[in-house]
Structure 1
Amino acid sequence: AVKAAEAADILQTDQAGLLEPENDMERTTSLTQTELKRNYLDDDTARHIYNLDMHQSAPYGLEYDRSGRYNIMYGAAGHLAMMDCHQQSLVTEFYVQERIRDACFLHNFTLFAAAQKNHAFIYDQTGAEVHRLSDHSDPMALQFLPYHWLLASVGRAGWLKYQDTSTGALVSQHRTQLGACRVLRQNPTNAILHAGHSNGTVTLWSPAQGKYLAKLLCHKGAAVHSLAVDPTGQVMVTGGADRRIRIWDLRMYKETISYFVRGGVPTSIDISQRGLLAVGHAGQTTIWNADALHRKTQDPYMHHSMPRCGPVETVRFRPFEDVLGIGHSRGVSSIVVPGAGEPSVDTSEYNTNPHQDAKQRKEAEVRALLDKLQPEMIALDPDQVGGIEESDPHKRLERLQDLQEEANHNKKAPKKKKSKKRGRSKIQTKLRRKHKNVVDQNTLKLREAREKEKVAKATEIRGEIASEAPREQAPSALKRFF
């Protein structure tokens, strides 16, 4: 154990590292994957460098699950395949006989969704069709929110729809009013969806609001082709048809840095767990260091060229590994990018443990369902949930008045009972007898009124009698004075 600890301390496999040039004349961009595999990598890491030629169903895209162990590859001709990246073995493979535009995993690798020609479909790890989401018509892009169990899609008609995968209910649907949308990514910190449109704008969406939360003009006069948000949720990177990569500060919604892409339009962008930026353009992939997101950098970190494989369809970093997956017009490629992945895995996080067994997976699924967040909690400021409301009496009074008005508005007026006068009713007679001896405040008032009325009548009668008696008893000569 002591020797193993010393070896671990020397190797430092739990810390992220980067390629560093030995002198000023050396450039890390000149290092190819062939040279990296032959001279610098061990066998376990070198096996992650490969090329899969599948030009029959190309172009291909790919996505990784949250643990980084499984990936799903989807071809435009209808080919779907899931692979175990640890064992490098095929889990399932089938053809759907129609075009596939996008695919993503759900809460774990046992279920994944595919955006096909007319509808979105959900399949299990054996390739069996589980559901057909008829509400998601003609989808172009998919995203799954793991903490809310929401599957979001945006279609050719411009409708953004949220489906709850735990209950099967359609949570909300919003019309973007900006035409067809092919770019949809999520902010990992607050679950806000970023949609890129053909007019160069990016809109931010939440299922709780019928209108976009924010709208940014990222590429004036050019369509947005790619988009990515860093793990901190503070930086957004967009790529447009103007061959520009623009970096935005989401705290101020302002552009900070801009880069020009020489090799073509940036068709796909992704940011790793350690902040590395990958850009796919034409038949090339360029990786920039994390510093490029915060200040202007002249030279990229790495460069990978794929002759006769352009354009690049998808670039995706593999979680917890220094691996970048590339989908292109000839198939799928995998390259090693040192320093890209997070070295330490938080196994307490839901479905991020790449070594979990079936029992642990079931427990994680149950815990995730118990801790599921409501769609109304998705907002631009993630700290507002669980925060303390400011003690402002005016705000509280306005809130109470609004609640009172809403309650009065929703309160229904009591219906009047119809008096039925046909025949006798035994039930009404019984009820009258029951309430006959019930003495309440109204009964007491009624009794007092009746007593006063009786006393007044008796007094009036006595007065009349008293006034007539002396007139009758008086002599006839004096009766005229009464």
Structure 2
Amino acid sequence: KTRRYEAAVAAADAQIILNTEQAGFIEAEHEMEYTSSLSQVELKRNHLDENTARHIYDLTLPSGPYGCKFDRSGRYSIVYGQRGHLAIMDAHNLNLHTEFNVRERVRDACFLHNFSLLAVAQTNHVYIYDDTGAEVHKLSDHHDPMALEFLPYHWLLASIGRTGHLIYQDTSTGGVVSQQRTKLGPCRVLRQNPSNAVINLGHSNGTVTLWSPSSNQYLAKMHCHKGSPITSMAVDISGNYMATGGADRQVKIWDLRKFQCTHSYFSIAGIPTSLDISQRGVLGVGHAGHATLWSPEALLKKVKEPYMRHSVPACGPVETLRFRPFEDVCTIGHAKGVASIVIPGSGEPNLDTTEYNLNPFQDKKQRREAEVRALLDKLDHGMITLDPNAIG
């Protein structure tokens, strides 16, 4: 007992000593000053160290509009252009890892369990490529895909497309787990709830439906934007709050525990085409040629002034807005390329190394070991339910 007690005390001390990093938000000195007036140029020149400041950049690319997504560790990013240009970048060193062209329209792309495999939604089907750009698989069951999402704990690739069929494919065995008709027409808005792996779909009639592969019917249906198509959606890491953007220029915040709208924001510049919520709760809204960032309090109550603003003039509308995991970085994909900006306080400062495929510094041996362990701990798709504490 004494040894256990001493070990517990030592572990607690190590937790206090090692996890010294804190998420630091920008704070105004007085009431007449707003943090939203701080530009990226001023932030880079006066307030950031050299290592952080190099993450503020603009990439001008010819085959736009472009989208950008990260793997779970935040180490690698995939940049995809609608004309078929694909590139994997090392976000730490800002080096180009792989670049290739599929010579076909690309609607969406995402990494699978790590950066070594990526799924690309092309004109007719979903294709799997490795990190060298070689085609590995063609998923013929996914017809006319428009949006992709990977569920890391269940090893499932979910896709939705023009036919309105939600398809789950097991990437460890290669088999189709379920194929469900939404009966709500074409869909291009698909996001997962990180806490319970439920898929949220945004439809053209203004509704959001929640799906599980073990159910033929939606688990819940929410009427979010009356008479306006859903254009974008995001769910926070706790799974309690969801943000939806509609063609009515409204960004609504929903409490998923009660399925109620708590408050909303009006997007003056244009329709919110992309939403994302960072690990620390910063809400990012991409609308027209602008990105508006709201503080974590904006999910809990209505806030008058945004946290930060950024504009990409003559490059709108924003195609994707994504926060980089474990870093205070946000990337904006637009018609003429990709812009990267720094949002202080948006990233989780402390890394959980016990989680598989989250370590951005892992070597090849560690990556192979994490892949095997993640496969052994893979959850059954029947366990996906609205209540994450209930066993399906």
- TM-score (norm. length: structure 1): 0.77
Cα distance in 2 for partners of 1:260, 1:142 equals: 28
**Which of 21, 25, 29 is 1:18 aligned to?**
25
| 1:153 and 2:159 are equivalent in the alignment | yes
Cα–Cα, structure 1 residues 131 and 316, in superposed 2: closer, same or farther, change >3 Å? same
Letter in 2 for 1:35: E
**Which of 366, 370, 373 is 1:367 aligned to?**
373
* Residues 175-254 of structure 1: pairs in structure 2 closer than 5 A: 175-254=181-260
Q: Provide Cα deviations, 1:56-82, integer angstroms capped at 9, x if missing partner.
A: 200000110000000000001100000
**Which of 26, 29, 42 is 2:36 aligned to?**
29
Q: Secondary structure of the equivalent of 2:305?
A: coil
Q: Secondary structure of the equivalent of 1:256?
A: strand
Cα distance in 2 for partners of 1:109, 1:199 equals: 35
TM-aligned CA deviation for residue 180 of structure 1: 0.4
Q: Secondary structure of the equivalent of 1:163?
A: strand
TM-aligned CA deviation for residue 155 of structure 1: 1.0
Which position in structure 2 is the counterpart of 1:277? 283
* Residues 132-151 of structure 1: pairs in structure 2 closer than 5 A: 132-151=138-157
Cα distance in 2 for partners of 1:18, 1:118 equals: 44
Which position in structure 2 is the counterpart of 1:122? 128
Cα distance in 2 for partners of 1:57, 1:200 equals: 31
Structure 1: 4+ residue segments shifted above 2 A? none
TM-aligned CA deviation for residue 232 of structure 1: 0.4
**Which of 34, 53, 61 is 1:46 aligned to?**
53
Which position in structure 2 is the counterpart of 1:355? 361
* Residues 313-328 of structure 1: pairs in structure 2 closer than 5 A: 313-328=319-334
Q: Secondary structure of the equivalent of 1:384?
A: coil
**Which of 305, 311, 314 is 1:305 aligned to?**
311
Cα distance in 2 for partners of 1:131, 1:78 equals: 17
Q: Secondary structure of the equivalent of 2:213?
A: coil
Which position in structure 2 is the counterpart of 1:99? 105
Cα distance in 2 for partners of 1:13, 1:338 equals: 17
Letter in 2 for 1:365: E
Q: Provide Cα deviations, 1:167-208, integer angstroms capped at 9, x if missing partner.
A: 000000000000000000000010000000000000000000
**Which of 59, 64, 88 is 2:65 aligned to?**
59
Cα distance in 2 for partners of 1:19, 1:138 equals: 44
Q: Provide Cα deviations, 1:371-416, integer angstroms capped at 9, x if missing partner.
A: 0000101000111129xxxxxxxxxxxxxxxxxxxxxxxxxxxxxx
Letter in 2 for 1:213: L
Q: Provide Cα deviations, 1:136-169, integer angstroms capped at 9, x if missing partner.
A: 0110000000000000000101000000000000
Cα distance in 1 for partners of 2:301, 2:33 equals: 22
Q: Secondary structure of the equivalent of 2:359?
A: coil
Letter in 2 for 1:233: G
**Which of 238, 261, 271 is 2:267 aligned to?**
261
Cα distance in 1 for partners of 2:28, 2:93 equals: 33
Q: Provide Cα deviations, 1:205-244, integer angstroms capped at 9, x if missing partner.
A: 0000011000001000000000000000000100000000
Q: Provide Cα deviations, 1:440-472, integer angstroms capped at 9, x if missing partner.
A: xxxxxxxxxxxxxxxxxxxxxxxxxxxxxxxxx
Q: Secondary structure of the equivalent of 2:142?
A: strand
TM-aligned CA deviation for residue 348 of structure 1: 1.0
Cα distance in 1 for partners of 2:20, 2:164 equals: 46
Which position in structure 2 is the counterpart of 1:77? 83
Q: Which has the higher helix share?
A: 1
Cα distance in 1 for partners of 2:374, 2:188 equals: 30
**Which of 341, 351, 355 is 1:345 aligned to?**
351
Q: Secondary structure of the equivalent of 1:137?
A: coil
Letter in 2 for 1:95: N
Cα distance in 1 for partners of 2:366, 2:178 equals: 32
TM-aligned CA deviation for residue 13 of structure 1: 6.3
Cα distance in 1 for partners of 2:240, 2:341 equals: 27
Q: Secondary structure of the equivalent of 2:196?
A: coil
Cα distance in 2 for partners of 1:102, 1:259 equals: 27
Which position in structure 1 is the counterpart of 2:6? none
Cα distance in 1 for partners of 2:248, 2:183 equals: 23
Q: Secondary structure of the equivalent of 1:383?
A: coil
Which position in structure 2 is the counterpart of 1:163? 169
**Identity of paired residues, percent?**
66
- Higher relative contact order, structure no. (Cα contacts within 8 Å, ≥ 6 residues apart): 2
Cα distance in 1 for partners of 2:195, 2:312 equals: 34
Cα distance in 1 for partners of 2:326, 2:178 equals: 33
* Residues 375-390 of structure 1: pairs in structure 2 closer than 5 A: 375-385=381-391
Which position in structure 1 is the counterpart of 2:95? 89
Q: Secondary structure of the equivalent of 2:140?
A: strand
- TM-score (norm. length: structure 2): 0.95
TM-aligned CA deviation for residue 23 of structure 1: 1.5
Cα distance in 2 for partners of 1:192, 1:256 equals: 21
For structure 1, the residue ranges without an aligned partner over 5 or more in a row are 1-8, 387-482
Report the number of matched residues.
Answer: 376
Cα distance in 2 for partners of 1:155, 1:280 equals: 22
Cα distance in 2 for partners of 1:137, 1:130 equals: 18
Which position in structure 2 is the counterpart of 1:6? none
